Amino acid sequence: MKLRLKILSGFLILALMLSIAGVWSIYELKSIGTSVQDLLSDNYKSINASKMMIEALEREDSGLLLLLLGNWQEGRRIISSADSLFEAAFIIAANNITIPGEELYVDSIRIKYQAYKELWQGPIIDTQKQGNINWYFQTLHEPFLAVKTSVKNLGTLNDQFMFKTASELQSKANRAIMPGIVAIIAALVFTFLFNFFVNYYFVSPVIKITASIKKFLDRKAPFDARVETRDEIYDLAESISNLCNITKTQATEQ
């Protein structure tokens, strides 16, 4: 192989090693960025919506207790605003299904909330329900707890997924760093290897050739510089050897 190709191959290998590691690190870093984005936009949004729904349910429950006590105006106002809050939060959760199986959790909330809502939508004041604490506990409280549990389950699902994504981020960070570290170490080792070969196959033969020419010129010693490889340096040594022989022959003839 020609000298130029040998040297080029060394640099090409070095460049290839570093660029692949670089591209991989960039890819992994980009992937970390996407994961963080997913973490915030997908899971955190749903967790927040769950918290809003639980807050709304608690307020609805307070409103219902006020209605039971006969405070129609305050009770209806609280229930109405809490219901709007619940619906708004539910829409966020329903439009943010990102985890496999999350749809089932959202459907469960919708069905259970609908059933719960039907229980308190009708009039309470001036009916037999007013002041009836047994009705509250026997009819209302169970569905209330059922909706609340479903909402909590949705929150837990997103919490767990968030934890999993965060854990994956750690290994992704490791995978982003490791190619770089490996490439640096490999490049250092490769540089030593390259340097060794350059010294052994380029520098040493040139020194040998120079020394042999010097010996020839000083002491008319025969040119003797053995080159192991079949490249330009070998050709150079051969040419110099021929030149020396011709010079020696001419000198003898004269």
Name the residues that contact other proteins, by CB under 8 A.
1, 5-6, 9-10, 13, 16-17, 20-21, 24, 27, 171, 174-175, 178-179, 182-183, 186, 189-190, 193-194, 196-197, 200-201, 228-230
Burial status of residue 192 (CB atoms within 10 A of its CB: 0-12, 13-18, 19 or more):
exposed
* Residue number, 104 or 193, with CB nearest to other proteins: 193
* Residue number, 21 or 89, with CB nearest to other proteins: 21
Q: How far is the CB of 29 from other proteins (least distance, A)?
A: 13
* Residue number, 21 or 147, with CB nearest to other proteins: 21
* Residue number, 146 or 186, with CB nearest to other proteins: 186
**Side chain identity, residue 191:** T
* Residue number, 139 or 229, with CB nearest to other proteins: 229
Q: How far is the CB of 199 from other proteins (least distance, A)?
A: 10
Q: Is the dihedral of CA 94, 100, 105, 111 positive or negative?
A: positive
**How far is Cα 213 from Cα 222, in angstroms, rounded to an integer?**
9
Task: Concatenate the DSSP letters of all residues of 126-189 into one string.
Answer: TSTTTT-HHHIIIIIHHHHHHHHHHHHHHHHHHHHHHHHHHHHHHHHHHHHHHHHHHHHHHHHH
Q: How far is the CB of 184 from other proteins (least distance, A)?
A: 12
Q: How far is the CB of 218 from other proteins (least distance, A)?
A: 27
Q: How far is the CB of 197 from other proteins (least distance, A)?
A: 4
